[in-house]
Chains A and B, each alone.
Chain A
Amino acid sequence: MWLTILVAAGGSWAIKYAGYAVPARILDRPLVRHAAVLLPVALLAAIVTVQTFGHNQSLVLDGRVVGLGAAVVALRFRAPFIVVVVVAAVVTASLRALGWVS
Chain B
Amino acid sequence: MASNQWLAVRARIARNALSIGGAVAVYGVSFGALGATSGLSVGQTCALSVIMFTGASQFAFVGVVGAGGSAIAAIAAAWLLGLRNAMYALRMSTLLDVGGVRKLLAAQLTIDESTALALAQDEEIESGRATRLGFWSGGLSVYVLWNAATLLGAVGAGALGDPRVYGLDAAIPAGLFALLWPRLRDREAWAVAGAAMCVAALLTPMTRPGIPVIATGLVAVVAALRALRRGAA
A20 touches B106 (CB 8 A): yes
A41 touches B183 (CB 8 A): yes
Q: Which among B47, B48, B179, B188 is the interface contact of A44 at CB below 8 angstroms?
A: B179
Q: Size band of the B side of the interface?
A: 35 or more
Tell me, yes or no, whether B78 is within 8 Å of chain A by CB: yes
Tell me, yes or no, whether B87 is within 8 Å of chain A by CB: yes
Cα distance, A25 to B1, chains bound together (Å): 35
Neighbouring A residues of B209 by C-beta, 8 Å:
50, 54, 56-57
State the main secondary structure of chain A at its contact with B. Answer: helix
A12 touches B82 (CB 8 A): yes
Q: How far is the CB of B183 from chain A (nearest CB, A)?
A: 5
Neighbouring A residues of B176 by C-beta, 8 Å:
44, 47-48, 51
State the main secondary structure of chain B at its contact with A. Answer: helix
Q: Which among A33, A44, A45, A93 is the interface contact of B166 at CB below 8 angstroms?
A: A93
A68 and B44 in contact (CB under 8 A), knowing A16-B110, A43-B220? no
Q: How many pairs of residues, A versus B, come closer than 8 Å at their CB atoms?
A: 324
B82 touches A92 (CB 8 A): no
A11 touches B22 (CB 8 A): no
Q: Which residue of A lies closest to B221 (CB)?
A: A35
Q: How far is the CB of A24 from chain B (nearest CB, A)?
A: 6
Cα distance, A20 to B71, chains bound together (Å): 28
B26 touches A59 (CB 8 A): no
A68 touches B80 (CB 8 A): no
Q: Which residue of B lies closest to A33 (CB)?
A: B87
Neighbouring B residues of A54 by C-beta, 8 Å:
67, 204, 209
B51 touches A85 (CB 8 A): no
- Give B contacts to A, CB under 8 Å: 22-24, 26-27, 30, 40, 44, 47-48, 51-54, 56-57, 59-61, 63, 65, 67-68, 71, 74-75, 77-94, 98, 103-104, 106-108, 110, 164-181, 183-184, 188-189, 192-197, 199-201, 204-205, 207-209, 212-213, 215-217, 219-221, 223-225, 227-228, 233
